[in-house]
Chain A
Amino acid sequence: MGMGIGWVIIATALAAAGGVLGVLAMRAEKPGRAAFLWMALAFGAQLMALGWRGELRGRCPLGDVGEICLFLAWSLTLFYLVTGSAYRLSLLGVFTAPLVVVLQVIALIPGSFAAGVERAEVVDHWRETHAALSVLSYGALALAAVAGVMFLVLNGRLKSRNLSGGLVQGMPSVQRLVQAMARIALVGWLVLTAGIVAGLFMKSGSMNIHLIVATITWVLYAVLLGIHFVRGMPGRHLAIGLTLLFILSLFVFAKL
């Protein structure tokens, strides 16, 4: 494994550093780009680690728990880097980094990365696309859930009139968070849609259990986002919905 696992360790350390620096900046009421920069470095290390696993497998590295966790952490970081700069959500890094660290720590547990992996002879591109897009969508949906948690924290503080401290000062506005939650979740849902469509073309042909669960998840997100965009709903309901849906779907997939 050698240097390959080394990249996972480096990515984990960088994400942890990003989280810690972000918290320190927040406490000093000077939220800056510290977390963003460290997460960008972590993203680079994740790419190297994924490259290592992809090279071993000769296909998309989504064959074991370690690879799925690593891919999910990479996807989460990717969406954070895109969204964090677009929405100037400096504190999102503080909330994202712990989740990235947890995922990568799971990947680092001995046995998570299967040893003696055989290089694929034949690759089903639809299957690869389905798996990659599904995990990628989970990165976006995870980030929407993270933004949801941020919203719940800010909303709680604003409603209880507990307004002092760097946490509230450094947070984006309520409206911006609602916008970010909804748009990130929408992107995740669209990617998931593409993933499910790709799944329908897989060589095995039949609707396996993963695809059924993915479709149920897709429907639930569609209902939540549909209500939000068409009828409207309080930000707190959207935040709770996105957080619960993500946890629920992750739990179901883990069980499967």
Chain B
Amino acid sequence: MKLVCLGLNHETAPVEVRERFALTEGGLDREVEMLLSAGDVLEGVVLSTCNRTEYYAVVNGGSGVAELEEWICGQRDYSGPREGVFYHHEARGAAEHLCRVASGMNSMVLGETEIFGQVKKAYQRSLDGGATKAVLNKLFQKAFGVGKRVRTHTAIQEGATSVAGASVELAEKVFGKLKGSSVMVIGAGEMSRKTARALQSRGASSVMVTNRSFDKAADLADEIGGRAVPFRGWEEELTHLDVVIAATGAPHFVVKPAHVEAVRRKRKFRPLIMVDIAVPRDIDPEVGEIDEVYLYDIDTLQEMADEARKRREEQLLLCEEIIREEIDKSSLPTVND
């Protein structure tokens, strides 16, 4: 009896290969079923996300990774190159790999948390379908425990690694919790959408969208559950705002010191955070000279995201240590035998 893992991900395979092996939710159940009926496979879990497809299987002694790879490529009718596209692990290597995946150490955005839920879901489907037994049940439970420990005992998920995330982090530094805060997005592009969404996910309750083309503002407002505001007169809303995100394509400053000066008294000098993610910039840097205004441009946000990524990378050694230690003290069958 042997534990094997075979897969491909964003580091080994281009998107045209990844999409060939990607499975829909319904497809996953069929794949696991077919995997078990393939012959020497005793247990199986298939994980499929936008960046990876992985097969975890317990196979009979005579069988191995090569057979599994052959079967998978046959299933997908794949005749392209395999060298370097697929990776495989056996026994302890497979267990350690699963722990890395569940901990977000193998993800495109290092330390991201979504993968943990995706692994759990994949395991649950196999468990419900009766495709897991002693080996994979213990292995996945262990991996979930390790994933939790890695996240709580290291800084692998700390800091924002995207521009939108860095904006949220800054807003929280000024306001603490964002619950109930009001946000205005100037410009209705992709970055505006992402940043507004990130702020909403942390509790921002009122989001206004303004744009030269009102229709575009209305579309984005509809999409994110906000309110569209006509571009002419947007500054009147400044009185109630906590966060302003500017991301227009305008070749000149859209937000000027006079706009803020006009409402300072009405705002009772409350803090106002302004995030300028446009190039050329939308907010006159002099706005940042106003006492209660905290102004950040795209360079600052990018720098923050880069630093966070670096800090996460520095945590990898510590994470590996935790995984080694946890696997050492485990009694997983076929792993430490």
Contact with B along A148-175 (1 / 0, CB 8 A): 0000000000110101100010011111
Q: Are A161 and B296 in contact (CB under 8 A)?
A: yes
User: When the two chains form the complex, which single residue of A158, A164, A237 contacts B174, counting CB atoms closer than 8 Å?
Assistant: A158
Q: Contact between A232 and B268 (Cβ–Cβ < 8 Å)? A: yes
Nearest CB in chain A: distance from B165 CB, A: 14
Selected A-B contacts with CB under 8 Å, 9 pairs:
A29-B155, A158-B170, A163-B173, A172-B176, A173-B174, A173-B176, A231-B268, A234-B292, A236-B291
Check B176 against A161 for contact (C-beta < 8 Å).
no
A178 surroundings in chain B (CB, below 8 A): 271
Query: Which A residues have a C-beta under 8 Å from some C-beta of B?
Result: 29, 158-159, 161, 163-164, 168, 171-176, 178, 231-237
- Whether the Cβ atoms of A158 and B173 lie closer than 8 Å is yes
Closest A residue by C-beta to B181? A175
Query: Are A161 and B300 neighbours in the complex by a CB distance under 8 Å?
Result: yes
Which residue of chain A has the shortest Cβ distance to B288 in the bound complex? A159
Q: How far is the CB of A30 from chain B (nearest CB, A)?
A: 10
CA of A232 to CA of B269, assembled, Å: 6
Q: Point out which of A159, A163, A164 has the most chain B C-beta atoms below 10 A from its C-beta.
A: A163
B214 at the interface (CB under 8 A from A): no
With A and B bound together, what is the CA distance between A250 and B265 in angstroms? Answer: 32
Q: Would you call B307 and A164 a contact (CB within 8 A)?
A: yes
Other-chain residue from B265, B271, B291, B296 in contact with A175 (beta carbon distance below 8 A): B271
Whether A174 contacts B269 in the complex (CB less than 8 A), given A159-B294, A164-B307, comes out as: no
Question: Which residue of the partner chain, among B173, B270, B296, contacts A168 with CB atoms under 8 Å?
Answer: B173
* A90 vs chain B, min Cβ distance (A): 14
Docked-complex contact A163 and B271, CB < 8 angstroms: no
Docked complex: B259-318 residues within 8 A CB-CB of A: 265, 267-271, 288, 291-292, 294, 296, 300, 304, 307
Contact size range, B: 20 to 34
A161 to chain B, nearest CB (A): 5
CB of A233 within 8 A of CB of B269, answer yes
**Residues of A close to B174: CB separation below 8 A:** 158, 173-175
A231, B170: Cα distance in complex, Å? 27
CB atoms of B173 and A174 under 8 A apart = yes
Q: A158-B294, A237-B291 are in contact. Are A173 and B307 (CB under 8 A)?
A: no
Q: Is B172 an interface residue (CB 8 A)?
A: yes
A232 close to B175 (CB less than 8 A): no
What B residues does A234 contact at CB under 8 A? 269, 291-292
B175 touches A175 (CB 8 A): yes
Instruction: Report A-chain residues with C-beta under 8 Å of the C-beta of B176.
Output: 172-173, 175-176
Q: How far is the CB of B334 from chain A (nearest CB, A)?
A: 38
B residues neighboring A (CB under 8 Å): 155, 170, 172-176, 265, 267-271, 288, 291-292, 294, 296, 300, 304, 307
A42 CB to nearest chain B CB (Å): 28
A237 to chain B, nearest CB (A): 7
Set of chain B residues within 8 Å of A176, measured between Cβ atoms: 176
- A85 CB → nearest B CB, Å: 16
8 tightest A-B contacts by CB? Answer: A232-B268, A173-B176, A234-B291, A232-B269, A234-B269, A174-B174, A234-B292, A161-B300
A232 to B263, CA, bound (A): 12
**In the docked arrangement, what's the CA distance between A108 and B137, Å?**
66
Besides A158-B174, A231-B265, 20 other A-B contacts (C-beta < 8 A): A159-B294, A164-B307, A171-B173, A172-B176, A173-B173, A173-B175, A174-B173, A175-B174, A175-B176, A175-B271, A232-B265, A232-B268, A232-B269, A232-B270, A233-B269, A234-B269, A235-B269, A235-B292, A236-B291, A236-B292
In the complex, what residues of A have CB within 8 A of residue B172's CB?
173
- Nearest chain A CB to B98's CB is how many angstroms away? 29
Closest residue of B by beta carbon distance from A158: B294
Contacts of B268 in A (CB 8 A): 231-232
Nearest chain A CB to B162 CB, angstrom units: 16
Q: How far is the CB of B268 from chain A (nearest CB, A)?
A: 3
Q: Which residues of A contact B304 (CB under 8 A)?
A: 163
Q: Which residues of B contact A159 (CB under 8 A)?
A: 288, 294
Interfacial chain B residues near A29, Cβ < 8 Å: 155
Please give me the residue from chain A that is nearest to B177 by CB atom: A173
The distance in angstroms between the C-alpha atoms of A234 and B294, with both chains bound, is 12
Asked if B271 and A235 make an inter-chain contact with CB atoms under 8 angstroms apart, the answer reads yes
CA distance A233 to B173 in the complex (A): 20
- Please report the C-alpha to C-alpha distance between residue A159 and residue B291 in the assembled complex, in whole angstroms: 9
| B23 CB, nearest partner CB in chain A, Å | 41
| Cα distance, A231 to B155, chains bound together (Å) | 42
| Interchain CA distance A237-B307 in the complex, whole Å | 32
